[in-house]
């Protein structure tokens, strides 16, 4: 009987622990419904945030939609245009205690130029927001502006690729390949989410993909980066934006995200270490410090202290003036002074006479003139020549 009872209860069989989880990111959180909290809330909570004047026109237009979306969760929203603030507060109809935090994040995003179509997504359970402060990471204003523009990319291309890669892959496989070669987007940044379809442009083909509600939305505004999306995607956006401010180009992180996405699809490599597949980039920053023209050579180190400099008394003792009387010392100094003055006056006179001294003329040697002593003349041959010439003249006459 004991054996049968043990086998029936299954004591010897291994039982899986309840707390053991294979993939925490794959777990789906249960939805919090109205029936889960029938007792309502005891106290009223409220949050307020300011918005800039240039957002007033947009907020007035979309505020009825904001009130409608928050009324469904039992939250009252008020817009104060005179003060320039938005306020959300709980009502007795509210049943979800955390929705007031979500509503606070929603009005924060609206004040930071995030469109209403994206800010509403914060009210979902699996989506949150993160405001990354990048203004305090750099002191130099010019460097900050350049690196912020590097994060946005030409025509918002870098920001668009970050949005497509930070989130769950809900699009077809062939459209994922178009992310890397995406050059420009047909609509402006933020307007592409209002339509039911999104266009991804490639050099040769145009792909149409369904609207992705699970990916991150990133907006660079002033000294902050507003991110909106799933929790894992927000971690990746924060890492990319902080690395960009640390002079690491976002293309390196984008390449790593694309490799991780491909590895996550392979069931064999899903549970392995991915470090061997990820690219490793080494920094090549060369110091631009100006080197001095004349480098001072350091003297050899000696443990002994330097010799003590000679005092005036030591110098007088060495020259022998110490033992002379004051009159003799002064006479000696006067004599030395007059000698120096005479030498200086001579140098001055030589300098004054220099312009009047004629320069040395170069010696001209005539090569054509030859000394007579060096040439040998035959006198007899010359006589014969003269006699022959005279005879020829006589015959002609």
| Same structural domain, 158 and 203 | yes
- Greater confidence, 284 or 102? 102
| Same structural domain, 106 and 140 | no
Backbone angles phi, psi at 226, to 5 degrees: -95, 120
Backbone angles phi, psi at 62, to 5 degrees: -95, 0
| Same structural domain, 255 and 215 | yes
Residue 204 confidence class, pLDDT cut points 50, 70, 90? very low
Residue at 204 is within a domain: yes
pLDDT digits (tens, 9 = 90+) for 214-258: 589 999 998 999 999 999 999 999 999 999 999 899 999 999 999
Task: State the number of CA atoms in the 13 A half-sphere of 68 facing the CB.
Answer: 5
Residue at 319 is within a domain: no
> Where in the sequence is the domain holding 59, given as residue range(s)?
31-125
Q: State how far the Cα of 142 lies from the Cα of 144, in Å rounded to an integer.
A: 5
Residue at 388 is within a domain: no
pLDDT for 369 equals 52
pLDDT for 7 equals 46
| Same structural domain, 267 and 136 | yes
Q: What is the dihedral of CA 130, 131, 137, 138, to 10 degrees?
A: 140
Q: Which residues pair with 46 in a beta bridge?
A: 89
**Residue 64 belongs to domain with CATH number:** 3.30.1370.10
| Same structural domain, 142 and 258 | yes
Backbone angles phi, psi at 314, to 5 degrees: -65, -40
- Asked if residue 382 has pLDDT above 70, the reply is yes
Neighbours of 216 (CB within 10 A): 23
CA distances from residue 199 to 29, 152, 176, 177 in whole angstroms, order as listed? 32, 19, 12, 14
Could you tell me the pTM of the whole model? 0.57
Of residues 349, 139, 255, 266, the one with CA closest to residue 147:
139
| Same structural domain, 240 and 250 | yes
Tokens for 226?
């507003």
Of residues 77, 9, 90, the one with CA closest to residue 43:
90
Lowest mean pLDDT among 17-21, 157-161, 232-236: 17-21
Residue 182 confidence class, pLDDT cut points 50, 70, 90? very low
Q: State how far the Cα of 174 lies from the Cα of 168, in Å rounded to an integer.
A: 15
Task: State the number of CA atoms in the 13 A half-sphere of 112 facing the CB.
Answer: 25
pLDDT for 16 equals 52
| Same structural domain, 93 and 171 | no
Residue 375 confidence class, pLDDT cut points 50, 70, 90? low
What SS3 class is residue 287? coil
CA distances from residue 77 to 48, 70, 106, 148, 226 in whole angstroms, order as listed? 10, 7, 11, 34, 22
What does the chain come to in residues?
397
What's the total number of domains in the chain?
Answer: 2
| Same structural domain, 114 and 137 | no
| Same structural domain, 149 and 102 | no
Strands 85-90 and 217-221, bridge-based pairing: unpaired
Residue at 114 is within a domain: yes
Residue at 367 is within a domain: no
- Asked if residue 178 has pLDDT above 60, the reply is no
pLDDT for 82 equals 94
Q: State how far the Cα of 323 lies from the Cα of 316, in Å rounded to an integer.
A: 8
- Greater confidence, 10 or 180? 10
Of residues 271, 272, 269, the one with CA closest to residue 22:
271
Residue 277 confidence class, pLDDT cut points 50, 70, 90? confident
| Same structural domain, 258 and 136 | yes
| Same structural domain, 170 and 46 | no
| Same structural domain, 40 and 159 | no
Residue at 316 is within a domain: no
**Summary count for the chain: helices (H), strands (E):** 12, 8
Tokens for 105?
């994040």
Domain boundary among 272, 306, 323: 272
pLDDT for 325 equals 85
């Amino acid at each position: 009987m004991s054996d049968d009872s043990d086998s029936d209860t299954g004591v010897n069989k291994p039982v899986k622990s309840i707390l053991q989880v294979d993939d925490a990111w794959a777990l789906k959180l249960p939805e919090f419904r109205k029936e889960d909290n029938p007792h309502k809330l005891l106290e009223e909570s409220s949050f307020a945030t300011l918005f800039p004047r240039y957002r007033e026109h947009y907020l007035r237009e979309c505020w009825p939609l904001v009130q409608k979306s928050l009324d469904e969760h039992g939250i009252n929203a008020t817009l104060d245009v005179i003060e320039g603030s938005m306020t959300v507060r709980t009502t007795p109809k509210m049943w979800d205690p955390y929705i007031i935090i979500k509503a606070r994040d929603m009005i924060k995003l609206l004040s930071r130029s995030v469109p209403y179509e994206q800010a509403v997504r914060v009210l979902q359970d699996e989506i949150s927001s993160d405001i990354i402060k990048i203004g305090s990471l750099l002191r130099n204003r010019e460097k900050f502006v350049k690196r912020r523009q590097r994060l946005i990319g030409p025509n918002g291309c870098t920001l668009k690729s970050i949005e497509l890669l930070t989130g769950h892959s809900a699009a077809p496989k062939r459209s994922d390949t178009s992310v890397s070669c995406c050059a420009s987007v047909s609509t402006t940044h933020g307007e592409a989410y209002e339509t039911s379809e999104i266009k991804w442009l490639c050099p040769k083909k145009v792909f149409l993909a369904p609207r992705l509600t699970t990916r991150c939305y990133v907006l660079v505004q002033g000294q902050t980066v507003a991110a909106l999306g799933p929790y894992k995607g927000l971690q990746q956006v924060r890492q990319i934006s902080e690395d960009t401010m640390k002079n690491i180009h976002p293309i390196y992180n984008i390449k790593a995200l694309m490799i991780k996405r491909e590895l996550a699809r392979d069931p064999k490599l899903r549970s392995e270490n991915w470090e061997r597949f990820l690219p490793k980039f080494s920094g090549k920053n060369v110091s631009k410090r100006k080197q001095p023209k004349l480098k001072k050579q350091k003297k050899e180190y000696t443990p002994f202290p330097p010799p003590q400099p000679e005092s005036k008394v030591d110098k007088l003792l060495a020259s022998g003036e110490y033992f002379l009387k004051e009159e003799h010392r002064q006479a000696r100094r006067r004599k030395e002074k007059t000698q120096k003055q005479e030498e200086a006056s001579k140098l001055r006179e030589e300098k004054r006479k220099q312009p009047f001294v004629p320069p040395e003329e170069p010696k001209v040697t005539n090569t054509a003139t030859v000394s007579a002593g060096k040439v040998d003349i035959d006198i007899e041959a010359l006589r014969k020549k003269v006699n022959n010439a005279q005879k020829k003249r006589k015959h002609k006459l």
